[in-house]
Structure formats: structure tokens, C-alpha cells
Amino acid sequence: MKQLAFPFTEFRYGQRELAIAVYRNTKGGAQQLLEAPTGMGKTLGVLFPALKAISSEQKIFFLTAKNSGKRLATEALLRMDDDDRKATGCRTLELASKQQLCKYPDKACHGDDCPLAKGFYDRLADARRSALEAGVIDEFALVKTAAEHDICPYYLSLALIRWSDVVVADYNHYFDFTAVLHAYTQAESWSPVVVVDEGHNLVDRARSMYSASLSTIQLLGARKAAPKKLKSVFSGLIRALTDQYDELASGTTVIDSIDADVGHALNDVCIKVGAFVADEALPQDSVLLRCYFDILYFQRLYELFGMHSMADVQRASNDTITLTIRNVVPAPFLEERLNDAHSVTIFSATLRPAEFYKDLLGLNEKSSVYGALSPFKSEQLTVRIATDVSTRYQDRKGSIAPICEQVIRTHAEHPGNYLFFLSSFEYVEQVRSYFMREHPQLTIWTQTPGMSHIDRNAFLRNFHASNTGIGLAVLGGVFSEGVDLPGDRLIGAFIATLGLPQINPINEAYKERVSQIFGPALAYDYTYLYPGIRKVVQAAGRVIRTENDKGTLYLLDNRYAESRLRGLLPSWWEPKTVRLR
């Protein structure tokens, strides 16, 4: 790829300084946490200077947690007009998972079974040539090209990685055990520039990547699907789980370690089922194949079990036993992948405090922290902290009337659309019932558990400039981040919770393990406080999206008045305290 001529003068205030910081970090081959306000155009401000800084031999891996993040990245690259893309030769590929792209999940991945695999390499060169002509190969272009050449879209995408300058992908494609981008990095001795979008999500996503579960009901299903010669192997693992954990009480029990008998049974399954899978072509949706891969993953985590993880057993009322390995600190798994990159830029609107993310993500000692100048002014967002109301669980019943009446007053003084975030669906329902009973004239729309994509879109369509009403949602849910409602579509938000994770045996075990690793002083903050405030700041970021937006934010809990909590809020906010009663 030729050098990009995109000038920094094209960036607006705040975004320009951010772009320069990314450029210097990329050139210097360093690791960086970069915090910048929601709505300032971080994707554009990070991606283009990274492109400007790389050499002709380097690649950029733009990693994101959600499909919306991938869209923003490809749209930012499309802002380079066709002439610019052709002049630089920049080729962008958007990766998707095998599950998303597979057209024949009931077939095995080889030419004797899947029609898209037969003659794959005969058609690959033409398909690759057609795809690369597009410049930006998003999922739609990839599927279209694959269909035109009668070739597997997933394996076509893997073949295009070597030919691409920018690869836009999910976190898993670089950070997971089986990550294809990291595998290429090691095999080809690449030195990629890794850019992590919405980096606050990487902690929870990485914990999920390095966690795994096995249940007796899952193993019974695999045993049923297995041929006769393998049934006893699954029986042995089921028996090992039952012998070790059948005497535990119903519910969740945290355990210190996993018994060696379970480990031996795991190894037996991996060896014998692995030999069978190597000889037999099983379809992608095979119950046996899926269970085998799950056991392989579990066994790897079992072998790497250490202080960074914990284990627990859940016994259900139907006697199902589920054994889980949960990652607490992903740093030992992530740091190798971060160090294999030429440079790393992890950016988000909420990376405070930086030490929390450095400790959990495994950034090196030389990593830097950069806080971008905000393009927003405090006058744009009126922030109020209610000091005479508590939304703690034991105080929740008494909080409903005062917080709802404040919503009514604010809505009456400044009619428009507002988001009202609460801690749970139960709390949402209590607030909805209050509004319907006391203020039936108020227009409200409500998030419900398990909303479909269509239902979510219908919820968001209520936010239009000619409407006026309140959207009730759960903090940390699908409407807390990645939602863009600029201008009069949204003029305010109410947050009636600190977003703290629920106190339960699992989180308390997390807290104990964090205490052992980082010390008791950080245990509560790392387990509860910082993850909660992160969700608050993300949700509040829905209100001000452009330099012309104005809005109101109410933080409805007296704990927000504490100095250490206020220190975690964005520096450009100027909150004032009020009393609701």
C-alpha cells in the first residue's frame, strides 16, 4: 500500500490531537490506552492516522466487539473516495464468523460433501481477483462475490487476509485461542498494527473467551449421537463429574481446583473422539462435533488453570451438573497477543481508571495513557446529582415515586425524548407501572427481555424529533451503548442505578481472587465499582453526540455525590447536586 495523503487538518478540534497521538504511537511501535468522548468521531480519528503511519509491508487489524463497530470502521474507510483508495492501493476486508457465513451447516467442510468446497482452489484465484477490485470488501460484498464464483465465502475471506491492508474483525479473530489473525501473525512473522475499538468491552469479552463450561446434559446428548464404540468414553466423563460433585448442594458452589479424575476423563475423550473425528467427515451442525470442540477448549483451560481463573459447580434441580472454569484476569492470555503486534491502540470513551485496564488486559510497563480533548462544553450537558434518593436494592421501593416525579417535571419543562436507565427488568416494570397508574397521559416505550432485532429497531424508531416520550431501558443493555440519537431525537437521560454487578457467589469469588492478585484495597473497585461506572458513562454518552447537541442528565442516587465516584466521571461534566423531595 502506498502512503496515505490524508491531512490532519481535515480533523476537527479534539479529533486532531487524538489523531496525532495515534500516529505517534503507531510510528513508535508502542501500546496505548486512548480515552475520547463518545460522539467525537473516534473511529475516524484513530483509523486514518494509523493508516498514515504504517509501512507498505504492515497490516492494520481493527478489532471490535459488535457488528455496529465493524460497520463504522468500513464506513470510515469508504470516506476515502475511489480515487484516493486506488491511489494508495488500500484494501479492506471485513471478517465474519464461520457460523454467519456457512451456507451448508449440515455438510462437512470438504469437497466430497459440501458443493462450495469441491473445486475450491480451482475457482479461488478468480474469486479473489473479483473481491479485491472492490477495495472495501464488507460482508455483503464478500457473500456476493462468493456466490458469483460458487465458492465458500468463509474460506474465501481467510484467503483474502494475506492480500488485505486493513482487516476489520471481531475481538475473537485476534485474541481467542483459535484466532485466525493471530495464527497468521505467528506463521507469517507479521508485525500488525492492532487497533481495539470500544476497548472497555475487551475485559468482559476476554474473560468470556478464556472461560468454558461442561454439563452432564450436554455430554448425554453427545453420547446419544456418538457411535457405539465411543459411548463408553462419554459415560466415563459423566461418571467422573457425578462422582466428584453429586454430593454438593443445589445451586452454585465455588471450588478450589478441578479433581484429577475429571482431568483424566477429559483427556480420554479428547484422544478417542479426536481420532474418530479425524477419520469421519462430520457436518458442521453435528452434536458430537460441537461437543468435542467444547471439550477440547475446556481441557486446554483445565491445563492452564491458575490464579487468573476460578472454578465452580452448579447443580440444578434436575440433577444436571455443570462444571465451569471462569477467567478473572485475562492479562496472562492477552499479553502475548499484544506483544506480538507492532503497536496497540485501545480506545474508548470509558477507560478510567487506566490502571484497571492495564492490570486486567496485560499492557506492558511502557504503555501510555492519552485522554483526548473533548469537543463538547459543559454548557451542552446539564448534569444533576440527586442527593436525597437511594436506588440500593433495599431502598428501591421508596425511590420509585421521587425519581418518577422528577422525570415528569423535567419532561414537562423541556418536552422531548428521554432515556430512563434502571438496574433490572424488575425495576423497569415497577417504574412503568407507576407511570401508567399516576401519569397515564405520558408516552412511554419499554425494553423487554430478549428483544428481537425487529423489536429493538421499533424501540429506537420512537426517538424522532416530532415525538415526545420516555424510553425505559436496563443499564448495560443493548440501548446503553452503540446507539446514536443526535439532535432532537434524544434530549436527556435519567440513570437510577450505579450499574454495580449483582452480589452473588460468583462475583464474590471474583472479588476474592482479585484481592489475592492485586490486593484487598482494589478488590471491591475492580469487581463492582469500575465496571458499574463504565456502564453509566456509556449510557450517558447517548445524549450528546455532536458539537451542536444540548441535553440533560440526572444521576438519581446519592452515591454519585461521593468524591471518588465523581472522579470517575468525564472531566468536561460539571455536575451539581439537587434534592428531589
Q: Using an 8 Å Cβ cutoff, are 200 and 354 in contact?
A: no
Strand bridging mode 212-215 / 321-327: antiparallel
SS3 378: helix
List Cα–Cα distances, 485 to 331, 439, 475, in angstroms: 35, 26, 17
Query: Whose CA is closest to 201, among 337, 349, 102?
Result: 349
Please give the pLDDT value at position 113.
Answer: 83
Query: Whose CA is closest to 372, among 40, 47, 52, 53?
Result: 40
Torsion angle defined by CA atoms of residues 302, 303, 309 and 312, in that order, rounded to the nearest 10 degrees: 20
HSE-CB at 136 with a 13 A cutoff on CA atoms is: 18
CA dist 47 and 43 (Å) reads 6
Q: Using an 8 Å Cβ cutoff, are 29 and 344 in contact?
A: no
SS3 470: strand
Query: Whose CA is closest to 38, among 463, 490, 474?
Result: 490
Please give the pLDDT value at position 7.
Answer: 56
CA dist 324 and 258 (Å) reads 10
Q: Using an 8 Å Cβ cutoff, are 437 and 410 in contact?
A: no
CA dist 462 and 131 (Å) reads 39
Please give the pLDDT value at position 537.
Answer: 94
At 97-138, the pLDDT tens digits run 998 999 988 888 877 788 888 889 999 999 999 999 888 899
Q: Using an 8 Å Cβ cutoff, are 128 and 159 in contact?
A: yes
SS3 255: strand
Cell of 399: 425511590
**How many residues does this entry show for the chain?**
581
CA dist 273 and 291 (Å) reads 10
List Cα–Cα distances, 488 to 129, 229, 284, 492, 543, in angstroms: 46, 66, 48, 10, 10
What domains are defined for the chain? 31-207+332-371 (3.40.50.300), 212-327 (1.10.275.40), 378-578 (3.40.50.300)
CA dist 260 and 201 (Å) reads 34
Which residues of the chain register pLDDT less than 50?
83, 87
CA dist 420 and 496 (Å) reads 8
CA dist 67 and 45 (Å) reads 19
Cell of 160: 483474502
SS3 of 345-369: EEEECCCCCHHHHHHHHCCCCCCEE
CA dist 294 and 278 (Å) reads 16
HSE-CB at 385 with a 13 A cutoff on CA atoms is: 18
Please give the pLDDT value at position 155.
Answer: 94
Please give the pLDDT value at position 80.
Answer: 62
Q: How far is CA 543 from the centre of its chain?
A: 21
Cell of 525: 473497585
**Which residue type sits at 572?**
W
List Cα–Cα distances, 203 to 170, 331, 418, in angstroms: 14, 9, 30
User: Exposure of 65 by Cβ count < 10 A (0-12 exposed, 13-18 middle, 19+ buried)?
Assistant: buried
CA angle 496, 501, 506 (to 5 degrees): 160
Contacts of 276 (CB under 8 A, 6+ apart): 227, 229, 230
SS3 of 396-459: HHHHHHHHHHHHHHHHHHCCCEEEEEECCHHHHHHHHHHHHHHCCCCCEEECCCCCCHHHHHHH
At 234-276, the pLDDT tens digits run 999 999 999 999 888 889 999 999 999 999 999 999 999 999 9
Please give the pLDDT value at position 515.
Answer: 97
Cell of 393: 436494592
**Which residue type sits at 356?**
F
**Which residue type sits at 75?**
E
